[in-house]
A and B are shown apart, each in its own frame.
Chain A
Amino acid sequence: MNLSEDVLKGVEALSDEKNISDNAFKNIVDCCFKVILKQKTESDLFEDKSAISGIDIIVLKQTYSAFIAFILELMKVNSDQATISDLLEDHKLSNNRIQFILNYFKEYRVAIRKALSITNFHFPHIIDINWRLDYFLKSNSLEKLNTPVYIVSLTTEQEEDQKGKVEFACTLDQLQDLVFKLRDAQKQIERSSIKS
């Protein structure tokens, strides 16, 4: 685990029940988890004055960023509930608050790790395929061609909602070749999983 002192200090601030009321505490924790899952934005927390009343804005920002870093790091190494609990206890959080945070971890662990796994760069990812079968009869320069031609369109995704397309044509033989190679690739993963 790689948590800096600033992060730990920020987390420790959450234990301060005098300055951070239970209600505000819940709001902060809730917002942090949901920001990571892109269900909320930072401003939802900072602009809702009633939710965070009485907290110094600088302390709030420190706590917020520290807690986000805290969640990300724990989820990166996939710490178990007991480790998280111990860690929070070390930083003087009350049992109630620890339990509250642990519940969030329990609920969102899978979702956060999923979000983290796609927070990465990659080559265009094929997510769908479309094909069309044409029967090519003639063109302006050639008659009596009469061959089937496939047009294949691959839909790719680079980032979320950033779709791309790869289009190409193939003859029957070429498609046969392509399918053969894809089938081989598909079998490979079965072979690998049997071995391991």
Chain B
Amino acid sequence: MSTVKQEYDVKKHFLELFRENRSVIDSGSAPLMNKQREGAIEEFERLGIPSQKSEKYRYADINGVFNPNLSKSFGVQKVSFNIHDIFECDIPDLDTNLILLVNGRYFNKEEPLRELQGGIITGSLARASKDMPQIVEKYYNSAASTEDDSLVALNTAFAQDGVFIYLPKDAVLEKPLQIVNIMIHETDLMAQHRNLFIAEENSSAKVVVCDHTLSPNKFLTNGVTEIYAASNSNFDLSKIQNEHNGSAQLSHTFLEQESESTVFTNTVSLHGGFVRNNMFVRLNGEGSENHTLGLYLADKTQYIDNYVKIDHASPGCSSRQLFKGVMDDQASGSFNGTIVARKDAQKTNAYQANNNILLTDDARINSRPQLEIYADDVKCSHGSTTGQLDENAMFYMRSRGIPEREARLLLMYAFAYEVVNQIHVKPLRLRIDDLVNKRLRGELSRCNNCAMNCE
């Protein structure tokens, strides 16, 4: 009974919060975004917080992450410190255009939109909604579908700001863009940011997103990212989730791809108490290509949940999913990947793989690789394995004088490398490689700059 009561409370809490703070929320954002709030909150009211009875959140206790002590802030954010003093990305040779999000809000709100080479525009989404409304209006909240997911509606109702990236036709961004999500606050905090990335025809860019926590408070983020990749565009998104274990992260990414576009996404989850990544890809144009990869290394009581849905809405598209995980201690996790090939999506080529290693009897993994095929001329397959390290490979190394622990690490490292190897920003790849290595060895694997000595 207690869960029912709690569910009721969370919903009621947000509905009240919305009504009480409506004007503050609006004033901190832009009219374009404010326009969508009313519909979204109604949708949220209708759906409520997803329960574990729904197939989509079967293994994820979403209710549990809504801690009543989480504060929410909608007014002007006072940052009483110079963020650059305590945060500096220390990845050697990683030369990027850096964008900071602090507690889900654009760090320097007053900063005008930045124009990079080839007319590429980056900056705050709220700002962009005011300065270039015709573009933002066209795309904002059109890919994000609530599709019985109230968390997206919750974000639309409350989100005030986030990152905006616009790649005009033929623009090529050579230096990767790096978005750093920092959570730092004196109290426990919930933040909801909203990102919008638009890649017009023939454009190309690489984006790196890093999630960090800089204070030991409990955090909850519920972020939505919408990405549009027009014809022949090339977009590459790497996401590093490295928050402390007291934090919870709900992330929803919606991706729309037009003909001949290629999009790579790679999500590496290293730390974070509760991580739920939703990824929705719609392949709208013929010949588009999608690669969705993920690596999760969990220990202690971490919970990491990846949900991917690739919708082949046009013929001749190809998609590939590869998710690999190592679960240690009492960690638990879940993978749910769905490939949908619609009626006219002939010549679809889709592949999906999920491999897991369980290191202890207390660790647990649930895997649901699914296929929904409505077209006949398709090549769709999937595979899922759960097991331990190959005893033969272990024996091979042991017989060559490699100690058991070393051999085990080597094998796990090789297991993870298949995903890490496909991060296309080289300095980042080397760093992740190093982090994964340290992570598997059980050494502290946060970025060195992190002041936190959290467990």
Is A bound to B?
no
- The chain B residues found within 8 Å of chain A, CB to CB, are none
- The chain A residues found within 8 Å of chain B, CB to CB, are none
